[in-house]
């Protein structure tokens, strides 16, 4: 039996485990998908000792931290600077680990149909590995983006700086942080929701709950909204392609 899995911490409900377990059962694939909740990326070599393991997904907080443990990055992952898929090739005692990024495909293809001509600039909330994939995907769609963080950034903004002028200029807002994820679903990124308009598009990478507070507050202002479920499905399809190349 082949083995695939997910590394991250903490790992609660996992879309990937459900998705791939159902896929394997439906398509008669002799494989399993396990969760590897490791509290330090230095524990990755222990996970890799299972010789059945040929593919991993990577989630918070290891999308950037995992890179020094890899032997190679594909071109897209190298440009993004974040990895959410690892292809494992075994040759006797030697293991070759190649990092890829399928987040960008899942994000790009699910936001694309929602874009209008006035969607030219985006605010990306959060500064982790997911935000890097979002910025890369937006660039491919010819949308310029600016990071927003609680702490000052060299080339970004803080939440306190989001005034009416900026909110009118940046009509796409992507939450690439975990804020609002169950069980903290009463929380939302600290943007000025009173300045959100029907011209805005709010996209949340969080999918649990399906209607986050971030999206609900945007919806109240007439903005177009989308959660991260279809993105997850898209990145999972791409991950399977990567593992089977």
Strand order of the β-sheet with 144-149 is: 157-158, 144-149, 121-125, 172-175, 201-204, 224-226
CB atoms within 10 A of CB 144: 12
Contact 176, 125 (CB under 8 A): yes
Cite the beta strand spans of the chain per DSSP E.
2-8, 31-37, 53-58, 72-73, 85-91, 94-100, 121-125, 144-149, 157-158, 172-175, 201-204, 224-226
Cα separation, 192 vs 243, whole angstroms? 42
Residues in the chain: 245
Q: Are strands 2-8 and 157-158 parallel, antiparallel or unpaired?
A: unpaired
Active site residue 63: yes
Q: Choose the catalytic residue: 63, 116, 139, 226.
A: 63
Tokens representing 165 are 């002028």
Q: Would you please indicate which residues are annotated as catalytic (active-site) residues?
A: 63
């Amino acid at each position: 039996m082949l083995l695939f899995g997910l590394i991250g911490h903490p790992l609660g409900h996992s879309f990937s485990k459900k998705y791939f377990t159902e896929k394997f059962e439906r398509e008669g694939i002799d494989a399993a998908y396990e969760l590897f909740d490791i509290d330090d990326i230095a524990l990755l070599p222990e996970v890799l000792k299972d010789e059945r393991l040929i593919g991993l997904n990577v989630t918070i907080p290891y999308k950037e931290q995992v890179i020094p443990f890899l032997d190679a990055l594909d071109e897209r992952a190298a440009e993004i600077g974040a990895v959410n898929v690892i292809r494992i090739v075994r040759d006797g005692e030697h293991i070759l680990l190649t990092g890829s990024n399928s987040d960008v495909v899942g994000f790009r293809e699910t936001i694309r149909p929602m874009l209008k001509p006035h969607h030219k600039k985006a605010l990306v909330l959060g500064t982790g590995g997911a935000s890097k994939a979002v910025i890369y995907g937006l660039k491919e769609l010819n949308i310029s983006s600016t990071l927003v963080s609680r702490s000052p950034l060299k080339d970004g903004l803080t939440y306190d700086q989001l005034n009416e002028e900026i909110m009118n200029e940046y009509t796409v807002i992507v939450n690439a942080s975990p804020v609002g994820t169950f069980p903290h679903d009463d929380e939302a990124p600290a943007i000025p929701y009173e300045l959100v308009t029907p011209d805005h598009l709010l996209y949340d990478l969080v999918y649990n709950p399906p209607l986050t507070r971030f999206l609900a507050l945007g919806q109240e202002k007439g903005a177009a909204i989308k959660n991260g479920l279809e993105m997850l499905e898209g990145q999972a399809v791409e991950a399977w392609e990567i593992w089977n190349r």
